[in-house]
Structure 1
Amino acid sequence: MEVAASPGGEGEGVITWSRPLALGDSEAPHTVVAPDGDVLVAATYREPLDVGGGPLPFNHVSTTPHLLVARFSPDGVLRWAHGLVPREGAARARVGGLAVDSQGNAWLGGTSAGFQFDGQRLPEGPFVARLSPGGALERVRGFSGDGALDVQALAADGEGGVVLVGDFTGHRDFGDATREAGPGRAAFAVRLDADGGTRWSRAWSAGHEGLVTARGVAVDLFGGIHVAGGYAGTVCFGGSPFVTVRQRTPFVLKLSPEGQHAWSHDLRGAEGMANAVAVGPDRVFVGGNFTGRFYFHGQAHAAGGYQGFLAAFDAGGQQRWARSFDATASAMATDESGQITLAGTHDGALGDLSAGPGGRTPAGLYVARLLPEDGASLWVRGFTHPGAAVARSVSVDLAGHALVAGTLSRALPDGTPYPRPQDGFLLRLRP
């Protein structure tokens, strides 16, 4: 991957180190920064893999993805790595989210293929597990029921526990109650305590043939929980009902620490998805992609094609500002000062996001740092690759370094037994 554009200040956004992950999988890796600056990565892999400590376990016969969990030092030196082999005959494995709590414990959520870990078998299907800072498995639990359940994101709750969000069909026992998705696909949020026990759960459905999905979650300093995603049909999150005739309309909502509805908003008129949510001092930032038109803080935002958006609310849910641009917005994080780090892909026109003069640049991946007051750009970096590049997750350490994880497509020989092979990458960028 090469730097294609750097209109920011000298040295800002420069790669300090990178790690390729030859995964051979279509699932992009997740990354998060621990309080001590260590970098945690979780991903699935379908080919023999070595992340710096020797080859990880691999079953050459299996066509089901294996599971990687690794921890690197702030300088990118491997501390430990686990490679988990799927149970023979298992159909699926997926990383849905990764978070780290204030004690440095890693929380991992997703779909297990019956993996063995530290002598324990992770329950096949949806699961959440907690790993110690040294990589030992400390807690694991599943969610029994029927239908499909996908964990889409995790966030530490500031009290040693975690909040996970996603979507499901059928019925699921979340620990406090069995929730029903109805005839369509429903979104859920579950708050777990430090032992993995359920504090509460919520589910939101959109009725017959409707859909609600939660794609991002963030917890503020006061324990407020913010959830972002998309819906189709009619849905009520606890306030006034939302109705859309679009295939998907982005939404964001806030829950109290106890799971009660505080406020909710949608981008009425837009068709698309809110992919990420992040919080800063008295600010809630929502990023995603859309077509169509929506109004925000009295200003119209229109997209003839697929474009990105970033919208800011205050802690009470009042609209502050929004930006739309000719690029996708797929991952986002904030730092201690509230500055936003945004990542996605672009087709060569970074002028809408550029901190300086615009212009055409080679298409590819971008990472931008923006001011919380109005979304103005501090710096933007573009990166090119011969194939498609996708940013999956962004995290920022206490010094302001941005960690970006995603995938790079590559061609494999004919006869590859799995679709859409991609490799992963991990970048650390200077503040």
Structure 2
Amino acid sequence: MAMRWWSRGLGLLPVMGMAVACGGGAAGTEVEATASLEQGVEGCREVTRYEESDLPVNDDTYVSADAPDTTFGDSTKLVSDGNPRQEAYLRFIVTQHTGFVRARLRLNVLDGSSNGPALHATSSAWTGSSLTWNNRPAPVGGALANVGALLSDSVVEYDVSAHVTGPGEYGFVLLPEVGDGTDFASLELRALRPRLVFTYATTTTECGTQGTGGSLSSVRKLGGVNGEVPHAMATDPTGGYVIAGDVGNLGTLGGPANNPEGLLVSRFRADGSHQWSRSFPQASAGTWMQVEGAAVTPEGNVLLAGEYFGQPDFGQGPLPGTSMGTGGIFLLKLSPSGQPVWAKAFRAHLDPGGTRPHQVFRVAGVATDAQGSLILTGSFRGFTDFGVGQVDAGESTRREEQPTTGAFLARFTWEGQLSWARVFQAGQSNTEGLAVATDSQGNIVLGGLAGDGNELGATVARTPFVVRYSMHGALDWVRRLEGSGVNGQVTGVAVLPGGAVGFVAQAYGSIAYAGGTVTTNVGGVPDLVLGTLESAGTDRWLRAYGGTEGEYPRRLVADAQGNLVTMGVFHLRSDLGGGPLNPTGGELKAFVAKYGADGSHRWSRALNETAMDPVLLGMTPTGETWFGGMLSSAEEVGGTVYTPYGSSDLLLMKLTP
């Protein structure tokens, strides 16, 4: 199944003392729980982390009673045996290691014993090239540590924390206790040589939530024996919602776990109960489809759009074929009960006749309006035909080296017929449509990034923009985010009360706005940039949030009062307006944050993105937030650790206003 660009690494391990929710037993699994803000990593807490550093032995040897004048400093092994009597010596010079909380002697066992030797301190005034049985130093005091039986080809550790307390020279001797002695690797075996291992403790304050609100009202984990990868979510006026994504064989996004591998669409009622699921299996290894956007019409129909190759069939006959790595997009309408109503497909080509290979064609955003129309945006290269003749993405999109992309915005009727389409040709840099929304009058708001050479009016590459069109496709206004060194993209748009427009961008530079300047990060690291425009397109307010490492918002929704909720990922640590966020985990963290109608921070919440890939965002009629994505490893949420049943599951959280 297809994965998105962001990398993922090791996820969180289950934490002792916390509940663990994971799959098991049945072919599918659903786990639902409630949690409070004070549990787990949701608030701020002191966390102690442990790291290790090691020091290789400086000298080692062994001595033997039956060869009292012989040295063994060049031997590849250290022998401690009771018959004949043999004793192993080690010497360490500790200089830079300070502030550790534990010290251990780590040895590789070459030949095991029924009872390993005891470790004692001794003088360090010897060398392996001169030490013999006759001149060996005596042990000092009682045993520092002891072990039991030792297996061959294993590793053993002696805790020497009470003896090794800081810089200095340390001598050790291993005294046998049985006649079937032990052979350890010496420094002559470089990869296996003895080492002192030092453990360091660092205590930091880690925060998962800031602000007031955003506490968990429920958490749902859905999945089957194979992987589930959610891609899109849409809510309806009743509080219900639809989730679409990829599933493996016997996968589920809710409901029975008996679906074939392919695309799955699941619908839920406002109380979270499963209403129906509709699966569209991959017909063959050469078929692939991925939903990238969804919307629910006022009548309850479900509109989906995405990308495909091969010839998938949504119940209306096979789509026109494309090959792997080439461009094709699909539109699909399902009835309120999940039955296919119609399906459309479009392809892009290098030439107007469509005889040369299909080109990049991407879907980025889907919306609907009061008439049940399907509004679609994205980007493509070359030529395409939405149903009224060829359109061109721009000459630069067809060049062999570093081709660009042009953008499109299209409106289709509830019957699937094209109303109109606008294409924004690329100049020397990309133009992309990334987010779309509609207001109560049917006006269409589009956000993305603009290059030069089209009606969006940008003069430099990667100019973030918001533009509004009438329901008939006439340009109302365009607002570009410009200034000194501005670079970025608008990734989410939302319609606010009175026809105002909210938008979120990932951008850097100094942005001229509302008669002033909003300065973000510099040097190529974007901030979360949140703003609003009046219905006429004039500036209302603009704010930048974030730290020095980079914030990447992906979606935006709004409630009836004009409050804004956005989600995405940030790098390492961030401040989204309420204080530091730095939960345990990898380099990328998933976040969801809510802001007031004036842009003031309400609350922000962060998770370990290496475990959960955030792609789902929705708003209930009562102002609660749906937030979720693909869970690929253990993730702590509200004091419970959720673990995927298969390779990945769906994790969905409901957050209070």
Same fold (TM over 0.5): yes
Displacement of 1:214 after TM fit?
Answer: 0.3
> Distance between the aligned counterparts of 1:177 and 1:260, measured in 2?
19
Which residue identity lines up with residue 366 of structure 2 in the other structure?
Answer: L
> 292, 300, 304: which is aligned to 2:518?
300
Of 541, 566, 578, which residue of structure 2 is paired with 1:342?
A: 566
Contact 1:3 1:381 in 2 (8 A): no
- Out of 482, 501, 504, which is 1:284 matched to? 501
Instruction: Tell me the secondary structure at the aligned position of residue 472 of structure 2.
Output: coil
Please point out which of 233, 247, 264 is paired with 2:478.
Answer: 264
* Greater shift in the superposed pair: 72-81 or 179-188: 72-81
Say if 2:469 and 2:476, in contact at 8 Å, map to a contact too.
Answer: yes
The Cα RMSD (Å) is: 2.5
- Deviation at residue 111 of structure 1 after TM alignment: 1.8
- Aligned residue runs from structure 1 range 340-419, under 5 A: 340-347=564-571, 349-354=573-578, 358-362=579-583, 364-372=589-597, 374-384=598-608, 387=610, 389-410=612-633
Q: Which runs of 5+ in 1 are unaligned?
A: 60-65, 412-420
TM-score of the two chains, using structure 2 as the length reference: 0.57
Larger relative contact order (Cα-Cα within 8 Å, sequence gap ≥ 6) = 1
Q: For structure 2, which runs of at least 5 residues remain unmatched after alignment? A: 1-11, 13-39, 43-207, 322-327, 350-358, 398-404, 635-646
User: What secondary structure, in the 3-state scheme, does the structure 2 residue paired with 1:242 have?
Assistant: coil
CA distance in 1, matches of 2:280, 2:342: 16
Q: Separation in 2 of the partners of 1:342 and 1:360?
A: 15
- Alignment partners' CA distance in 1, 2:368 and 2:389: 22
The within-5 A match list for 1:148-227 is: 148-183=360-395, 184=397, 185-207=405-427, 209-227=428-446
CA contact (8 A) 1:29 1:424 kept: no
Residues 177-232 of structure 1, C-alpha deviation per residue, up to 9 Å, x if partnerless? 3211122211001101110111111000122x431110100101111111011123
Superposed CA offset, 1:367-411 (max 9, x none): 222112x201222223335x2544324221211121223334559
Summarize deviations over 1:285-310 as a string: whole Å, max 9, x none.
Answer: 11121233322221222213232111
Query: CA 1:91 to 1:219, structure 2 compared with 1: closer, same or farther past 3 Å?
Result: same
SS at match of 1:211: coil
Cα distance in 2 for residues equivalent to 1:68 and 1:236: 38
User: Which aligned pairs between 1:107-118 and structure 2 lie closer than 5 A?
Assistant: 107-113=303-309, 114-118=311-315
Contact 1:353 1:368 in 2 (8 A): no
- Which residue of structure 1 lines up, in the alignment, with residue 447 of structure 2? 228
How much does 1:71 deviate?
0.6
Question: Could you say if the C-alpha distance between residues 92 and 379 of structure 1 is closer, same or farther in structure 2, counting changes exceeding 3 Å?
Answer: same
Evaluate the alpha carbon distance shift between residue 390 and residue 234 of structure 1 in structure 2; reply closer, same or farther with a 3 A threshold.
farther
Q: Which amino acid aligns with 2:507?
A: F
- For residues 39 and 88 of structure 1, the distance between their equivalents in structure 2, rounded to whole angstroms, comes to 30
Partner Cα distance (2:519, 2:236) in 1: 37
The code of the aligned residue for 2:443 comes to G
- Provide the residue aligned with 2:257 in structure 1: 55
Structure 1 residues 17-60: Cα deviation after superposition (integer angstroms, max 9, x where no partner):
323456747x652111122221100112346413343324335x
Residue deviations 1:64-83 (CA, integer Å, cap 9, x gap): xx211111122222211122
The AA in structure 1 aligned to 2:440 is L
Q: Give the distance between the partners of 1:40 and 1:335, measured in 2 at CA.
A: 18
Q: Which has the larger radius of gyration?
A: 2
Distance 1:106 1:344, change over 3 A: same
Deviation at 1:13, TM superposition (A): 3.6
1:40-119 equivalences in 2 (<5 Å): 40-46=242-248, 48-59=250-261, 66-90=262-286, 92-113=288-309, 114-118=311-315
Question: AA paired with 1:272?
Answer: G
1:253 aligns with 2:457: no
C-alpha displacement at 1:130, in angstroms? 0.8
CA contact (8 A) 2:223 2:648 kept: no
Provide the rounded CA distance (Å) in 2 between the counterparts of 1:130 and 1:90. 24
Cα separation, 1, equivalents of 2:506 and 2:409? 22
Measured in 2, the distance between the counterparts of 1:19 and 1:133 equals 25
How many residues end up aligned between the 2 structures? 403
**TM-aligned CA distance change 1:152 to 1:352, over 3 Å:** closer
Change (3 A) 1:210 1:422: farther
Deviation, 1:424, is: 4.0
Relative to structure 2, which stretch is displaced further, 111-120 or 181-190? 111-120
Amino acid aligned to 1:142? A
Match of 1:7 among 210, 217, 231: 210
Identify if the C-alpha distance between structure 1 residues 378 and 58 changes in structure 2 by more than 3 Å, giving closer, same or farther: same
Q: What is the percentage of aligned positions where both structures have the same residue?
A: 26
Partner of 2:45: none
Q: Describe the shift of the 1:381–1:69 C-alpha distance in structure 2 as closer, same or farther (beyond 3 A).
A: same
Change in Cα spacing, 1:119 to 1:242, as seen in structure 2 (3 Å) is closer
Q: Which amino acid aligns with 2:298?
A: S
CA contact (8 A) 1:210 1:234 kept: no
In 2: Cα distance, 1:32 partner to 1:166 partner: 18
* Match in the other structure for 1:313: 533
